[in-house]
Structure 1
Amino acid sequence: MPLLTTLVDNFNDNVIGPNWGDSYGGATETGGRARVPLVAGAYAGYQTGRAWTLAGASIYLKLATRPAASTGTDVSANFLVTSPVEGTSIGFKYNAVTNKLRLQSNVDYYDAAAIELTYSATDHLWLRLREDGTNVYWDTSPNGSTWTNRRTLATPAWVAAAVDQCALDLYAYRDAGVTDYAEYDNVNTLADGAVYNGSAALTADSSLASTGAVAVISAAALTADSGLDTDGRLAAHASADLTGESDLGAEPAGSDTGDIDFAVSKPTTGWVVSAPWR
């Protein structure tokens, strides 16, 4: 059961979203607003499908741009929640000819008990419609935050019966005069922020500047004649092969062998020991 409270749009992507699939008469999303043209003799509206519920919900918006009366005698910008029954609706109507804001609960397109206020571009800039299970309330605000109640009415039976069957219709009409438009903004939101996606086509010689940090990994390919310097340590192992005719000398440290004679022969008796060994 989608309550109208959950319908949120600030119109900042300049594309009519899927919630407004029943829009008609040349309505567009332009300059961050829902724009509804007023062409003499033609109706136009920014409209949802018939799938919403007013019972227990609230919905507010900003009437950002109002049409001029010009030479028309019937020129209006409307903010209505409509029922499945033709001509049965509830909401606001701005009359550009009389400069009145009409708070109405229509049956067969009319409410004999409607309340009309002299329109104030400041006090009535924001409009809100809400229902609490007992009553429907019409509120206005200069800023979308501080609200003043302007009318209270016992909830019409159709509001509770038309669950998932209501539509929001932001429509405009003029019977004569110069073509202009009405603009609506900030449905159920005070936020005007937006995210825009951009793209850039780069040719082979193009460059793209960025303030972001870039990590670069580089590699060097060495040819057979290339050199590579390094501060690292190189450990080498060497070995020597001695042939049978090689000489290897060793001298004990601290020994003097200059006065020693060695005779190597077959041992015999009668060894003679001479000085200094006696």
Structure 2
Amino acid sequence: MPLLTTLVDNFNDNVIGPNWGDSYGGVSETGGRARVPLVAGAYAGYQTGRAWTLAGASIYLKTPTLPAASTGTDVGVHFMITSPVAGTGLGFKINRVTNKLRMQSNVDYFDAGAVELTYDAVNHLWLRLREDGTNVSWDTSPNGSTWTNRRTLATPAWVTAAVDQCAVDLFCYRDAGVTDYAEYDNVNTLADGAVHTAAVALSADSSLTATGAVAVISSVGLSADSALEATPRLVANASANLSAEASLIAEPVGSDTGDVDFAVGRPTTGWVVSAPWR
């Protein structure tokens, strides 16, 4: 069930997209906008297939370019959601002869209770239709962000019945006057980035020159081939043989040796051994 909320187009590719497959009257996508010509006595418009749902959905757009009244007595720019029944639908009409913005819910191409305001090219630049399950609302905005409600109506029965059967018709008509055009833009989007398509021929000797840029890198990772250098340390191993001479002298502990006499030689008869040696 494609809700009208999901229909998005800013017309910047200058190609009429597949969603607008029922367009008619010599419309074109020019300069990033949907352009609808106003030729005396002829209708023209961007139109989707009858495959969309307004119930529980919303749709908005802007009308940046409007036609001149010229010598016409009926010069209109329309933004309509139409039902499967011819002449039944709801939306906006900008009347360039009376300079009125009309908010209408038509049956048999007319709404006796339609609400009209003096058209303001600034405050009425953006137009929005929305349905919340109870009511249908008509809103205007100068910028597509801040909206002012202009009319609220109990949801017509056909809106909830025509699931996947509604169409969007952005059409224009003039009964007389000089041929000119109206433009629509930014269906359900505020994004307006330009898309440019161009062709260029490069010769075999073409070259591309790039200006170097200085970059400051605050962190760096080491690759697999990174090298780590360290300051060498000198370690010496040596061995040594130690030799020593030592004399060990032992003295009796606790004995008085002051009265000991020593004789050198073999003992002879008469050798006397005194205490403590005997």
Checking the alignment, whether the CA contact within 8 Å between 2:4 and 2:58 is kept in structure 1 is: yes
| In the alignment, structure 1 residue 193 sits paired with structure 2 residue 212 | no
Q: CA deviation at 1:212?
A: 8.2
Change (3 A) 1:90 1:210: farther
Q: CA deviation at 1:125?
A: 0.5
Checking the alignment, whether the CA contact within 8 Å between 2:137 and 2:149 is kept in structure 1 is: yes
Counterpart of 2:85 in 1: which secondary structure? coil
Residues 180-217 of structure 1 deviation map (CA, whole Å, 9 limit, x = unaligned)? 0010000001110134354433333x40425388xxxx
Percent of residue pairs bearing the same amino acid type: 81
What's the C-alpha RMSD, in Å, of the aligned pairs? 1.3
Higher Rg of the two aligned structures: 2
Residues 118-168 of structure 1 deviation map (CA, whole Å, 9 limit, x = unaligned)? 000011000000000100000000110000000000000000000001000
Counterpart of 1:81 in structure 2 is 81
Change (3 A) 1:156 1:194: same
Mapping for residues 200-211 of structure 1, pairs under 5 Å: 200-204=200-204, 206-211=205-210
Mapping for residues 179-190 of structure 1, pairs under 5 Å: 179-190=179-190
Residues 207-251 of structure 1 deviation map (CA, whole Å, 9 limit, x = unaligned)? 0425388xxxxxxxxxxxxxxxxxxxxxxxxxxxxxxxxxxxxxx
Counterpart of 1:160 in 2: which secondary structure? helix
Counterpart of 1:130 in structure 2 is 130
Write the letter of the residue equivalent to 1:24.
Y
Aligned mates of 1:161, 1:90 — CA distance in 2: 14
Counterpart of 1:117 in 2: which secondary structure? strand
Aligned mates of 1:210, 1:51 — CA distance in 2: 51
Change (3 A) 1:210 1:40: farther
Aligned mates of 1:210, 1:56 — CA distance in 2: 55
Aligned mates of 2:159, 2:146 — CA distance in 1: 26
| In the alignment, structure 1 residue 58 sits paired with structure 2 residue 58 | yes
Q: Calculate the TM-score normalised by the size of structure 2.
A: 0.74
Write the letter of the residue equivalent to 2:158.
W
Counterpart of 2:73 in 1: which secondary structure? coil
Aligned residues: 212
Aligned mates of 2:147, 2:157 — CA distance in 1: 26
Q: Calculate the TM-score normalised by the size of structure 1.
A: 0.74
Counterpart of 1:2 in structure 2 is 2
Counterpart of 2:54 in 1: which secondary structure? coil
Write the letter of the residue equivalent to 2:202.
L
Aligned mates of 1:6, 1:194 — CA distance in 2: 21
Change (3 A) 1:195 1:105: same
Q: CA deviation at 1:173?
A: 0.1
Counterpart of 2:5 in 1: which secondary structure? helix
Counterpart of 1:139 in structure 2 is 139
Aligned mates of 2:203, 2:54 — CA distance in 1: 54
Structure 2: 5+ residue runs without aligned partners? Answer: 213-278
Residues 19-57 of structure 1 deviation map (CA, whole Å, 9 limit, x = unaligned)? 011110001000110000000000000111111000000
Q: CA deviation at 1:10?
A: 0.6
Checking the alignment, whether the CA contact within 8 Å between 2:141 and 2:148 is kept in structure 1 is: yes
Change (3 A) 1:134 1:98: same
Aligned mates of 1:100, 1:148 — CA distance in 2: 17
Counterpart of 1:259 in structure 2 is none
Aligned mates of 1:156, 1:175 — CA distance in 2: 31
Change (3 A) 1:202 1:40: same
